[in-house]
Chains A and B, each alone.
Chain A
Amino acid sequence: MTVLEQPGAYRPTPPPAWQPRTDPAPLLPDDEPYRLLGTPAADALDPERLRLLHGHLVRGRRYNTQATALTRQGRLAVYPSSTGQEACEIAAALALEDRDWLFPSYRDTLAAVTRGLDPVQALTLLRGDWHTGYDPHEHRVAPLATPLATQLPHAVGLAHAARLKGDDVVALAMVGDGGTSEGDFHEALNFAAVWRAPVVFLVQNNGFAISVPLSKQTVAPSLAHKAVGYGMPGRLVDGNDAPAVLEVLTEAVRRARAGGGPTLVEAVTYRLDAHTNADDATRYRSDAEVAAWRSHDPVELVERELVRRDLVDADGLAAVREAAERMAADLRERMNEDPALDPMELFDHVYARRTARLREQAELLRAELAAAAADGSAHGGEREGTDR
């Protein structure tokens, strides 16, 4: 017998009244990317902040060209360059306080380095000596995530946990335009909005997911619009305008820290290099398109602004370049040393305590290595990474 067959017993409770959002901020205040450089507002930009950004941008560009060169020398297995996207990478790091957390994707080594990571340690994933060569706690940078969008729910969870503990910590998570199609992206946004988690999502829309242009990824008016459906603010910003990206991210971080919940920021930028050194970008895009974006270069935009406002002289520019060269030379030198790897480390950190099976397998490898060493230099000895 069902409840419907005994009318007296069925007393539906009226549904609770639908609660509209009380946040007065419009979810998508502007359909046009927000810009500072080249607008009247640029005159009010703090000279020190501009110089700071400029120094990071020049250094960041040099970092990208150096890392790319290291792939040609076989020193890096692969490098997904962020050349052209340096403004986003740098702003992502600078918008955060020390106690905040950064959740980068595989393309965001520069953001991690800008946050203070040792450049060599930040590159181990791409060199191939270890998956994550740094301690995430040291600078509060999560491991670079290779599977797309998978780091976004992590950022939400961490931010949520911090708030449960009463810490005013914010998480900033980075993802590409292609990654916004993954289920994890949508689930992360929804959780963040429902929990009002202190998270900032930064989408670097660089036009392509490997070969696939944004038009085949989404037909939404913009990626920032996706925020509206989840009930969080979406912000569209010119991703090559470093002061603008920094301002928008800083505001989103402030809002999150103040309990205002998550924000989705879409930075419109362009990937000037191929997807990685292994990719042939001529198959899917024209030189003309790349050239057009080269004339909107994030490094030059800030440099021109400094010159326009007479905030830098030739010596000042030379000093910035020299500092970048020193960083590059140091990186080159250190990357040219073969990493000292111990194959026995394969069995470390699989579990907190090695299982009997892993102990056996470790003994097998130890015996093999000893036998190879006893065989002498015929097999090239034990040194790792020299025969790549």
Chain B
Amino acid sequence: MNITINGELLTIKSAALVEILQNFGAQPPYAVAINGEFIPQSQHGNYVLNEGDSVELLSPIQGG
């Protein structure tokens, strides 16, 4: 199954969000949105992705 994570195309075996984040090397703190919708951390454990989903993994950065 193909998804994108932070704009990068990825072929994945498991559709479980937590495994995808782990394989991507996600480092806390971060927040996740899928197809433009915020997915709270409390829902990560049960969340399963679908073909073509777009994951955004965001972390703190400088801001003005």
Q: Do A and B bind each other?
A: no
